[in-house]
Amino acid sequence: MVSSDISKWGDRQQYVSEPMPEGIKASGSPKVILLNATPDPLGSLAALCAIYTGRVVRSLRDVTDEERRQALEDMSATELSGPLESIQFHFLIEGIDRSFTHQAVRGRNAFYGQESLRFAVPEGSWSDRTTLPPSLAGTTGTEPLGAENTRDEYKRNVWDLAIDNARQYYLHLVNGGMPAEEARGLLPHAIQTRYHWVCSLRELLHVAGLRTCTQAQFHWRLMMAEVANALREFYIYPSNPGSVYDRQRADCAWQFELIADLIRPVCYQTGRCGFMAKFDRDCSIRDRVERNARANRPSSKWDTPHEVERCTSDSDCPGGCGNDETITLIEPIRNWEWAADPGAARK
């Protein structure tokens, strides 16, 4: 065993990584804070869109709330998504692991400022600094090691031992003077970190569409749920209560509610499944999505059953009847089916 504290530093630029906020381990979800955003997002959008009709907006005070709502609605009816870049967000995301950030920073239309594990050294126990896989949620690791075992408690025991071994050897090397940028090769992908995400509404909706889909790793859905919460809470907790600035911000709270409601899978944005290639996974809602698409039903109605669907061919009919008089029922799609089921795309 080795000490949890670092007694020798191999690089003067190293520092102790700040602990993750309380509650991340208990909830299993990262913490997302919206640090800053375009103060009147839909006003900016409406002003930009107005130029396409020949109207020049020189002050957002000249934009009505009806025009703000219409501008956002128009964005769902056109492929012209450039105006969404007039709205900018700055998020701080904490308690997300390195396997997640490896995926996140592949985005091309955003800026990422990540805590560098070249210099940030995670001290102490790693039980609060590693992400537990969803399949091990609720386990304690009480199953002893021994013969081959497929029980979840056994897997949790193996997981905890592997994490602790990695911690001990990592701290041993850093205490021995190895620079953290070299010792970090032993850090598990499950080690948690934090990063700043600066993006436009265009990029936010693109990422949300892909990453709230069941095709994505489950932690993405947890993170995007927290992004939606951060948007809704942005004006609930003012930075300077009573100030003119915060009173103006509070007047725009409803806009952030509307934007938060757009954090949905790509099928909800386009009206059909966007993952139909042979190498794409199936998922628990795909059949119903496609049946709703054939019925020309907007995604806003997918949470209610559709009582009439007429089959026009064998390929259209789930039962293969080929009778255009056959009436079938499209069962509703519940949000939890794609948002809360880690295995929704697994067979």
pLDDT in tens, the chain (347 residues): 444 556 656 788 888 899 999 888 877 889 999 999 999 999 999 999 999 999 999 999 999 999 999 999 999 889 899 999 999 999 999 999 999 999 998 888 899 999 999 999 998 889 889 999 999 988 887 777 776 677 888 899 999 999 999 999 999 999 889 999 999 999 999 999 999 999 999 999 999 999 999 999 999 999 999 999 999 998 755 555 555 555 556 688 999 999 999 999 999 999 999 999 999 988 999 999 999 999 999 999 999 999 865 665 555 555 555 555 566 789 999 999 999 999 898 76
Q: How far apart are CA 17 and CA 36, in angstroms?
A: 24
Q: Identify whether the C-beta of residue 308 lies closer than 8 Å to the C-beta of residue 178.
A: no
What Å distances lie between residue 44 and 13, 77, 111, 116, 286, CA to CA? 42, 18, 21, 35, 36
Q: Identify whether the C-beta of residue 74 lies closer than 8 Å to the C-beta of residue 193.
A: no
Q: Identify whether the C-beta of residue 335 lies closer than 8 Å to the C-beta of residue 267.
A: no
For residue 177, how many other CB atoms are within 10 A of its CB? 11
Q: How far apart are CA 95 and CA 169, in angstroms?
A: 22
Q: How far apart are CA 128 and CA 114, in angstroms?
A: 19
Determine the distance from the C-alpha atom of residue 253 to the mean position of all C-alpha atoms in its chain, rounded to a whole number.
21
pTM value surpassing 0.75: yes
Q: Measured in Å, how far apart are the chain's first and last C-alpha atoms? A: 42
